Amino acid sequence: MKKPTFGPMLLAFALFCVVLFIPPRFLLPLIGEQKVDDAATSLKKEMFQGIALQQKMLDNPKYLPMYGSSEFSRLDVYHPSNYFKVKDQEFTPFLIGRGGTQSLTHVLSLASSMDQLENRKIVFVLSPQWFVKQGLDEVHFAPNFSSQQAYHLIFNNDLKPEMKKQIAERLLEYEIVRKDTLLKTSLEGIVYDDTNHNMKAAAAKPFAYVYRNILDRKDMVASIFDIKPQKTHLDPELKSLAWEEIRKRAEKTGEIESKTNPFGIEDPYYNKGIKKKLERLKGYRANESFNESPEYDDFQLVLDILKQTHAKPLFISVPVNGPWYDYAGFPKERRDVYYKKINEQIAKAGFPVADFSSHEYDKYFLKDTMHLGWKGWVYVDEELQQFYKNN
């Protein structure tokens, strides 16, 4: 009887271990430059919930990372991703975020790439509607939560201990985090400094390490094969126009595309979501405020990470649609409290902010009740171009 040979099995196991435990940075060359370019406008959660594509992007100074949320999906011809493609600038906006992504989601993303943020220019787009009283809820957090980035947080020794503890505490408030027993145990070891939690976290650490590496390999495969760009909407005529001419053109576009209402809201959005219930929506936001919210603490974590890493961010403060918010019963004096508060928070951190709060009543600055569009994007484009060129 022939003796069994274990050579091939042992070789396969050895190769598996090499692939599993080799640092992800050594695998980044597997991601082609075209894939990074495709990812710049993909808006797929697999991209911004992962790490590999963002690390590959941050290695290339031609990309300008932009962190934000649902405004990125308004890909009209004035959107930075389309405008700068026409203008053939030295940089390419790289969009990180989609509907429901807020400060805490971006905290995990930024923490996963801390070693690449030094002197790195980035753009962070702030939305007032993030700062509601209850803050980021489970409905919006769960679909955008990155398990991979959370597991990387566990092994992140660059973060200051108090900041790491604060992030872990915040994550444990969400069910999607708590139902992952391995992750929950590991995060509790960061939060609670007692023998019981420390022992459990220590026992879980080897398993968390292996699982993190598995998630890294899964991310790598998705980065190589699953990323596709959004369809471009280009207007070649913008290339030769000055900023004021582009603003006038954008205003005309907005006028044509929002003829059904006095609020400057694009027709499909208004007709589908507002028109039939317009009377019922009068005053519906009368009891709301952006003055108190857990979001301010989450946003402070963003600021703290960027300060610690010596990054060079530009914050874009987006206004709301003034006429609509007046109609909804959310008065300007209450909105101004938010604008003042967020500007002071950014200024205290020592970072610049492009504050567009004075454009609340600037028709066609927004495309609906709260999202940038048309003329608003033109103002943002001008800020981005200036920001990128400045040292």
Q: Strand order in 353-355's β-sheet? A: 92-96, 63-67, 121-126, 312-317, 353-355
- Res 27: pLDDT: 67
Residue 3 covered by a domain: no
Instruction: Report d(CA 86, CA 235) in Å as an integer.
Output: 7
Per-residue pLDDT reduced to its tens digit, 132-171: 999 999 999 999 999 999 999 999 999 999 999 999 999 9
Residue 24 covered by a domain: no
- Main-chain dihedrals φ then ψ at residue 264, nearest 5 degrees: 75, 25
Residue 51: pLDDT over 80: yes
Instruction: Report d(CA 247, CA 88) in Å as an integer.
Output: 19
Residue 15 covered by a domain: no
Residue 134 covered by a domain: yes
Contact (CB, 8 A) for 250 and 241: no
Following CA atoms 300, 302, 307, 311 in sequence, which dihedral angle do they give, to the nearest 10 degrees?
-150
At 2, the pLDDT band (50, 70, 90 cuts) reads low
Contact (CB, 8 A) for 146 and 108: yes
Residue 10: pLDDT over 70: no
CATH assignment of the domain containing 211: 3.40.50.1110
Instruction: Report d(CA 167, CA 191) in Å as an integer.
Output: 9
Per-residue pLDDT reduced to its tens digit, 228-274: 888 888 999 999 999 999 999 999 999 999 999 999 999 999 999 99
Give residue 60's domain range. 37-389
Contact (CB, 8 A) for 235 and 86: yes
Residue 297 covered by a domain: yes
Number of independent structural domains in the chain:
1
- Single pTM value for the model: 0.92
Per-residue pLDDT reduced to its tens digit, 303-339: 999 999 999 999 999 999 999 999 999 999 999 999 9
- Res 14: pLDDT: 41
Residue 27 covered by a domain: no
- Res 6: pLDDT: 45
